[in-house]
Structure 1
Amino acid sequence: MTQLPDLAADCDACAALCCVGLAFDEGDDFAIDKPAGLPCPNLKRHDCTIYDNLEGEGFRGCAVYDCEGAGQRTVEVHGGKSWQDELPLLAPMLETFRHLRLIHQLLGLLETARALPLDEEEEERHFELVEALCPEEMTPEAAEQIAGGPVPREVQAFLRSLAHHV
């Protein structure tokens, strides 16, 4: 059986990729506008300076965000390196993060689907899709190929086919 990556966020093992890669729109969930690709002004190296009071500072969106383990996996895929130590890594790491966020989201949905009373054919298809999302070695290139290929659409179609279970 395929070993799934950790689908729980571990901010301590990440390089604050969500604090850089994601855009914020000022409103109920974010106190400021921030375009994707620029570090949040509350970021100091890999640490959020307002982490203990995100909601009080107007960053509820940050408090509830979960990358589903894509952040730390991006760092792992890039050999444990950080864009903060090697700025040229920022763009490639953000690209890998984008792909792994999709892959991890799909894996999380497939794991949720496992709780359904799947028949033998559905179980086999579930296994095939998990295998397709979990290559033996994840690399930035593999993440890009998987996220940009047919597998995400196949997972979505499979999940829709399970509607009769709910």
Structure 2
Amino acid sequence: MIRRLPIFGILLFLTALVFGQGNLIIYGWSDYIPSEVIDAFSKEYGVSVIYDNYDSNETMFAKIKAGARGYDLAMPSADYTSIMIKEDMLIPIDKSLVPNLANIDPDVVEQMYYDPENTYSIPYMVGTTGIAVNTNFVEVYPRSWKIFELPQFQGTMTLLDDMREVF
């Protein structure tokens, strides 16, 4: 079973990006931007890219809320994007610097209830959550979330430690 996750947005905040000068400092989930892309971007635009990782929205939010400064981009999930907008932690995006906005699927933008005009965020990724069953060990099972209630599977399953993954 697959469930659609919130849209991830790239947020511009705290400092303005000036191509060709200094550093581009990104605060994002690990493995969201391949190192080859970062290297190519650095070379093409003449900037040094610093990619700072976080492991949860809560970690990212706490660090920024506590006063961390200097990030040009961050990648919170939709729910934290909404919170950061309400907390006035973001600056509006200069859309003239993002010509590829025209290429974003309108169906994706339509789901951005928290920032429908892309004032503070731009969709970067849409994901899904699924249940995988190793049929070498389990032949009969319900094709639903009910699988997590079955006592015979207790202690043999894992879930991500994230409230958005468990309901």
Normalised-by-shorter TM-score class: under 0.3
Q: Which has the larger radius of gyration?
A: 2
Greater RCO (Cα-Cα under 8 Å, separation 6 or more): 2
The TM-score, its normalising length taken from structure 2, stands at 0.22
The TM-score, its normalising length taken from structure 1, stands at 0.22
**Greater fraction of residues in strand:** 2
**Greater fraction of residues in helix:** 1
